[in-house]
Structure 1
Amino acid sequence: MKSLALLLACVALVRAGTYQDRFTEQYNKIHDSNNGYFSNEGIPYHSIETLIVEAPDHGHQTTSEAYSYYVWLEAVYGGVTGDFSKFNNAWQSLEDHIIPKLQPTNNYYNPSSPATYSAELDDPSQYPSPMEPGVPTGQDPLFQELNQAYGTEDVYGMHWLLDIDNVYGFGNTQGQCELGPNESGASLINNYQRGPQESVWRTVPQPTCDSFKYGGRNGFLDLFVGDNSYAQQWKYSNAPDADARAVQAAYWAAQWARSAGKINDISSTLTKASKLGDYLRYAMFDKYFKRIGNCIGPYNCPGGNGKDSAHYLISWYYAWGGSLTTNGGWAWRIGDGATHFGYQNPLAAYALSNEETLKPKGTTAVDDWSKSLQRQLELYQYLQTEEGAFAGGVTNTWKGRYDTPDSNLTDDTFYGMFYDWEPVYHDPPSNRWYGMQPWSVDRLAQYYYVTGDSSAQGVLQKWVNWIIPNIKIENGDFSLPLNLGWQGDPPRIDVTIESYGQDIGAASATARTLAYYAAKSGDSNAKNVAKQLLDAIWTHNESKGVTVVETMDTYTRFNEKVYIPSGWTGTYPNGDVIDESATFIKIRSWYKNDPDWSKVESYLNGGAAPQFTYHRFWQQADIAIANGVYALLFNE
């Protein structure tokens, strides 16, 4: 714990140096209202620019990821300045805007029958997926415990996606359902819902609350799930890595505030973070609460009892919803049996099981998070390649429908869960992007920094020895891996670097990982590389932040076909028709009014791929955080 004590002492002793100055400069740019990082409601946009298609399909949407970075940014601000009021304000904004208030029928939820099974299919063109009421599901062991702890049936978790400017026009503002395009304020929306091949280019965005006002005869419901009857309903989806990152940020806020004698200033916010972590446990369970381990065949794999449906990892999502009407009302909840190494957060698990101000009220929560911590550490070991990088993840539900996995995957399992090199989504492959590496390993390094856990140190050292030779710093600039390739299965997996690039967010996360590792281990080379990488990133500093030019050759996909079943027709609030001729741009005609549309139009007409300099909130915040943390760790 000596390094943690050193860090806390630095809160009081740190003097303005190069990296603290950079933090302050970057922080001020993010908060400069002229730069456009926040909406009028104080919500962080996914990016300043509106024309951007990646996970969100518009820059003035936002994600729970962005909100978690906002909370983290303000926690570091408190660590640097001693002012934690902005940390409190960021959490309040999170609670006001992205934790859903419209949950009208949770009281009808039956934890003995959490949801009706519907298989995930291989391709969007196979949907709607039929519901199969005869498939056994398990029991939800959290519902009563959470009700008793918090006195409510509602879920305290972030929905993952907000249409801040109500571009789609659904008007699902907090507590409201389909108020339409004239409604001002952030609107909660959904998109991905049709299998692993459904990239952002092939989605049919839909409202979180569907009263059949838009879409087709049954709203948007019959595009995704086949049923004999459809009811107006609400539904939300949580990205657990974001909730865990928010808890992680709260942990550091607690350490820095305590050192500054200001822990009471943030006590109510820490209580909220603890509550978020309590509900985050839904991410530890199989999608239909089925038994963990060798779960093959939807009818053969039994439902779980108690905690035998818990894999104790941080999975890709959890979701919940229900009917709009209370006459014959119903509600449902699901976890997820697929878990990606990139979503794991051992520091959050440690915080929720060890930090007194963050221990949740749920009677079994501390024990669950303690088990999760150990399980996550084991997963890193299981997925680490010969070279040192980490492969994709594991799943309890092969292909999203409890299929029989390939025979080469049944010999070496993880608690009976099967290795999957690209869990969850395949377009693009979910573990191709190098950024998943430092996103997750940074959290492992923070855990190691706090605890000195030798098992974490061994895993980290192997990763550090892999990445340092693959960071190229020449003439003051940098490049590092961009896309990765994978071969083999446990216990022998190998990684190759397929391309290099300048992802500024992945670079700053890499620098922070090396900094935390160096601060605890004393590895001077890791510290020097972290410093050089931060310096190289900063050469791309400009008036609104840090940017590099990106060539968007994926934008040919604006014309990509979006699958709509033959004979199905509907409309969006702006009048865009949804039918079997749909393409990405046809159901988003408003994009043609974007100030950058001419770049894409020229490309679609045979011109060169357009170039953009994007200011993504998460990247800009990550760069600020990396510099602020480096200043706190090394007093520079």
Structure 2
Amino acid sequence: MKASILVLSYIVGIAYAGVYTDRFNVQYNKIHSKGYFSPDGIPYHSVETLIVEAPDHGHETTSEAFSYYVWLEALNGKINSDWSTFNKAWDVLEHYIIPVSASQPTAQFYQPSHPATFAPELDTPNQYPSPIDNSIPVGQDPLHQELVNAYGNSDIYAMHWLLDVDNIYGFGNSPGNCENGPGTPGPSYINTFQRGPMESVWRTVPQPTCDSFKYGGPNGFLDLYTKDNNYAKQWKYTNAPDADARAIQAAYWAGQWAQEAGQLGTISNTLSKASKMGDYLRYALFDKYFKQIGNCVSPYSCPGGYGRSSAHYLLGWYFAWGGSLDYNGGWAWRIGDSTAHFGYQNPLAAWALSHDPNLKPRGATAVSDWQTSLDRQIEFYEWLQSAEGAFGGGASNSWNGRYDTPPSDVSQNTFHGMFYDWEPVYHDPPSNRWYGMQPWSVDRLAQYYYVTGDYKAKNLLDKWVNWVLANIKIDSGKSYTLPETLSWNGAPGNLHVSVQTYSSDVGTGAATARTLSYYAAKANHAQAKQVAKEMLDIMWTSHQTDKGVSVPETPDTYHQFNEPVYVPPGWTGRYPNGDVIQNGATFLSIRSWYKQDPSWPAVEAHLNGGPAPTFTFHRFWAQADIAIAQGTYGILFNE
């Protein structure tokens, strides 16, 4: 009977019909009708506007949200045989969060023999601006000419990580434009973090990606970050490699599912764009200044790299690119990143870019680079796995972000000469404290295992699944708890993790359930399947809201609306709305528009001595993750 139903469903154009794929459709329809998208079709970070985490406003958005949007629509194609929405998602992504050629106006002046000028990363925001040092050797960029040969221009095809969708800051850096001001419709390219590992979101001074000195101080915002003899009007973008890799991962699944349905031709153009993104994503595989990888312990004596000697082959935390606005004496620059976090790795994307004929990039060495990256990522997981099973932190080729000599206990424990760091990139809060990094990354490892059957991946997953199953508590099908924050001690070879706090979070819960689902489907692991099923059932039946699936939360950081934001004494500037940027400024004083937010009275009462407010947020990534986890379970187990 079930086979007959499936045949009938296929005939009428529905690829799957079952409890969990039905839930996907319910959640999918909520996402598309309950305020998750701007009028231009851009996914907001959250439906709610008052939310401060990596973005400092809910109606900003991230490349992360765009990547989840692409994944959501890939699954919609699989479940509902409608591939137009997948193509549309990539079109929106391409138009709004990949800078168009006019937004990279002097890219053609880039010189790969000198990619960028060194500026040390410093420990705290009050040590900035950082002095630019032309005497520090940098390496050569081995990708540029190959990419020009493949695509015919010097532009970068990659997502910038952050958009001010409603243009609440008022910069007006819309695609192809530069600082057109508050009257410009959104979205607007912006950036925030740039001042070391202790610069939490509460200590940032948001700035435009296209700085024509119209706002900020006399030098725009540039002299808050770098110290130079003179400043040029310029553009600059920062990429979050895990998001680009997730979009490529989603495109891989879309290609597989469309091909199974005989519909590959309907998305072939989009797949070629995903392949192109994978070509440029290779900048994440290189040291920040293209210096040699391994024992790089002095900015002066550590040499610049040539060819692949500067490639660590891991997905770094970012890469960035920029240039002058003036064509007269124009210039451009590019940097990779010296630090890799296990949470950003994506072995399925690396495998797809090196093995899937639909996604193999044009770049002459791209396939071999991604094959090497795949092998290196698996080795990275092996090195970072704790005795208990969770994965700990990452590694850096540039200690303290300035090629310092690390402590002796660190220098004796290396990965291809890179130094172990339990909290790579940021320390407030520690970057590997949040449990969500675990299922985000391990889900990709589980998908890679599901596709390939790689025994190395299985060995890693066996241990991780045992750890996570031991730390999930389910109460009679009514509620669940899973880890929320983690603590770490030791180092690779003797690394240990313990769970500090637990929660009933639905976003990390969905990611965990999907990880368990892929693992169970390949390894035939009954307990992993059962726990995944119970978690998906509980979140669906216990945590429904009118906008999706969510649980109330009480942020313990909102007293930091009054957090001082470091601005050097004597430095004064203004935002488009007139907010003054000067010594003594606070997070709120340079974001005075928050006082008009509908949720502001609850925060104001807290700042006046009341209890921390409780909110029910609907983050795009989490709501998409829930839909995808439900639908994936239905597909894998035909339920």
Q: Is the pair's TM-score, using the shorter chain for normalization, greater than 0.5?
A: yes
Residues 11 and 260 in structure 1, CA contact (< 8 A), matched pair in contact too = no
Residue 599 (1) aligns with residue 599 (2): no
The one-letter code of the counterpart of 1:504 is V
SS in 2 for 1:267: helix
Aligned mates of 1:625, 1:88 — CA distance in 2:
18
Partner residue, 1:4: none
Partner residue, 1:547: 550
Partner residue, 1:42: 41
The one-letter code of the counterpart of 2:36 is Y
Aligned mates of 2:162, 2:505 — CA distance in 1:
23
SS in 2 for 1:545: coil
Structure 1 gap ranges (5+): 1-6
Q: Which moved more, 1:64-73 or 1:75-84?
A: 75-84
Fraction of identical pairs, as percent: 67
Q: Matches of residues 408-419 of structure 1 in structure 2 within 5 Å?
A: 408-419=409-420
The one-letter code of the counterpart of 1:579 is Q
Aligned mates of 2:53, 2:593 — CA distance in 1:
17
Structure 2 gap ranges (5+): 1-5
Residue 451 (1) aligns with residue 452 (2): yes
Residue 288 (1) aligns with residue 312 (2): no
Residue 465 (1) aligns with residue 463 (2): no
The one-letter code of the counterpart of 1:537 is M
Aligned mates of 1:368, 1:555 — CA distance in 2:
43
The one-letter code of the counterpart of 1:61 is E
How many residues align? The count is 628
Partner residue, 2:400: 399
Deviations 1:400-427 (A, max 9, x none): 0001111112222100000000000011
Match of 1:623 among 626, 631, 637: 626
Alpha-carbon distance, 1:489 to partner: 1.0
Residues 14 and 631 in structure 1, CA contact (< 8 A), matched pair in contact too = no
Aligned mates of 1:199, 1:380 — CA distance in 2:
27
Q: Matches of residues 244-255 of structure 1 in structure 2 within 5 Å?
A: 244-255=245-256
Residue 562 (1) aligns with residue 565 (2): yes
SS in 2 for 1:320: strand
Alpha-carbon distance, 1:14 to partner: 5.6
Aligned mates of 2:278, 2:510 — CA distance in 1:
26
Alpha-carbon distance, 1:81 to partner: 1.3
Alpha-carbon distance, 1:300 to partner: 1.0
Partner residue, 2:536: 534
Partner residue, 1:63: 62
Aligned mates of 2:210, 2:462 — CA distance in 1:
47
Residues 342 and 381 in structure 2, CA contact (< 8 A), matched pair in contact too = yes
Deviations 1:123-143 (A, max 9, x none): 000000000100000000000
The one-letter code of the counterpart of 1:108 is F
Q: Given the two structures, how large is their TM-score scaled by the length of structure 2?
A: 0.97
The one-letter code of the counterpart of 1:63 is T
Aligned mates of 1:161, 1:411 — CA distance in 2:
37
Aligned mates of 1:433, 1:412 — CA distance in 2:
24
Aligned mates of 1:167, 1:122 — CA distance in 2:
30
Deviations 1:369-410 (A, max 9, x none): 000000000000000000000000001001100011111122
Alpha-carbon distance, 1:541 to partner: 1.3
Deviations 1:212-259 (A, max 9, x none): 000001000000000000000000000000000000000000000000
Alpha-carbon distance, 1:52 to partner: 0.3
Residues 15 and 80 in structure 2, CA contact (< 8 A), matched pair in contact too = no
Q: Matches of residues 308-347 of structure 1 in structure 2 within 5 Å?
A: 308-347=309-348
Residues 15 and 78 in structure 2, CA contact (< 8 A), matched pair in contact too = no
SS in 2 for 1:400: coil
Residue 613 (1) aligns with residue 616 (2): yes
Alpha-carbon distance, 1:554 to partner: 0.6
Residue 107 (1) aligns with residue 108 (2): yes
Aligned mates of 1:15, 1:118 — CA distance in 2:
54
Residue 496 (1) aligns with residue 498 (2): yes
Deviations 1:331-382 (A, max 9, x none): 0000001000000000000000000010000000000000000000000000
Partner residue, 2:73: 74
Partner residue, 1:523: 525
Partner residue, 1:3: none
Aligned mates of 1:257, 1:520 — CA distance in 2:
22
Aligned mates of 1:343, 1:243 — CA distance in 2:
10
Aligned mates of 1:406, 1:633 — CA distance in 2:
47
Residues 139 and 310 in structure 2, CA contact (< 8 A), matched pair in contact too = yes
Aligned mates of 1:219, 1:15 — CA distance in 2:
54
SS in 2 for 1:249: helix
Aligned mates of 2:10, 2:404 — CA distance in 1:
52
Q: Residues 11, 67 of structure 1: CA spacing in aligned structure 2 closer, same or farther, 3 A cutoff?
A: farther
Q: Matches of residues 350-499 of structure 1 in structure 2 within 5 Å?
A: 350-475=351-476, 476-499=478-501
Aligned mates of 2:492, 2:59 — CA distance in 1:
41
SS in 2 for 1:473: strand
Alpha-carbon distance, 1:83 to partner: 1.2
Alpha-carbon distance, 1:185 to partner: 2.1
Partner residue, 1:635: 638
Residues 14 and 635 in structure 1, CA contact (< 8 A), matched pair in contact too = no
Aligned mates of 2:17, 2:544 — CA distance in 1:
19
Aligned mates of 2:615, 2:122 — CA distance in 1:
35
Q: Given the two structures, how large is their TM-score scaled by the length of structure 1?
A: 0.98
Aligned mates of 2:372, 2:147 — CA distance in 1:
19
SS in 2 for 1:319: strand
Aligned mates of 2:59, 2:65 — CA distance in 1:
12
Partner residue, 2:133: 132
Residue 199 (1) aligns with residue 200 (2): yes
Residues 232 and 325 in structure 1, CA contact (< 8 A), matched pair in contact too = yes
Partner residue, 1:262: 263
Residues 11 and 632 in structure 1, CA contact (< 8 A), matched pair in contact too = no
Aligned mates of 1:58, 1:602 — CA distance in 2:
19
Residues 11 and 259 in structure 1, CA contact (< 8 A), matched pair in contact too = no
The one-letter code of the counterpart of 1:75 is A
The one-letter code of the counterpart of 1:348 is A
SS in 2 for 1:499: strand
Q: Residues 15, 240 of structure 1: CA spacing in aligned structure 2 closer, same or farther, 3 A cutoff?
A: closer
SS in 2 for 1:478: strand
Partner residue, 1:122: 123
Residues 137 and 304 in structure 1, CA contact (< 8 A), matched pair in contact too = yes
SS in 2 for 1:235: strand
Alpha-carbon distance, 1:11 to partner: 8.3
Misfit runs of 4+, over 3 Å: 10-15
RCO (CA 8 Å, sep 6+): is it higher in 1 or 2?
Answer: 1
Partner residue, 1:190: 191
The one-letter code of the counterpart of 1:28 is N
Aligned mates of 2:582, 2:95 — CA distance in 1:
36
Alpha-carbon distance, 1:15 to partner: 4.2
Deviations 1:156-191 (A, max 9, x none): 000000000000000000010000000012000011
Aligned mates of 1:359, 1:11 — CA distance in 2:
30
Q: Matches of residues 169-248 of structure 1 in structure 2 within 5 Å?
A: 169-248=170-249
Partner residue, 2:95: 96
Q: C-alpha root-mean-square deviation of aligned residues, in Å?
A: 1.3
The one-letter code of the counterpart of 2:549 is V
Alpha-carbon distance, 1:274 to partner: 0.1
Deviations 1:486-537 (A, max 9, x none): 0001211000100001221111000000000000000111100110111111
Residues 11 and 256 in structure 1, CA contact (< 8 A), matched pair in contact too = no
Q: Residues 406, 256 of structure 1: CA spacing in aligned structure 2 closer, same or farther, 3 A cutoff?
A: same
Deviations 1:575-605 (A, max 9, x none): 0001001000000000000000000000000
SS in 1 for 2:330: coil
Aligned mates of 1:595, 1:238 — CA distance in 2:
32
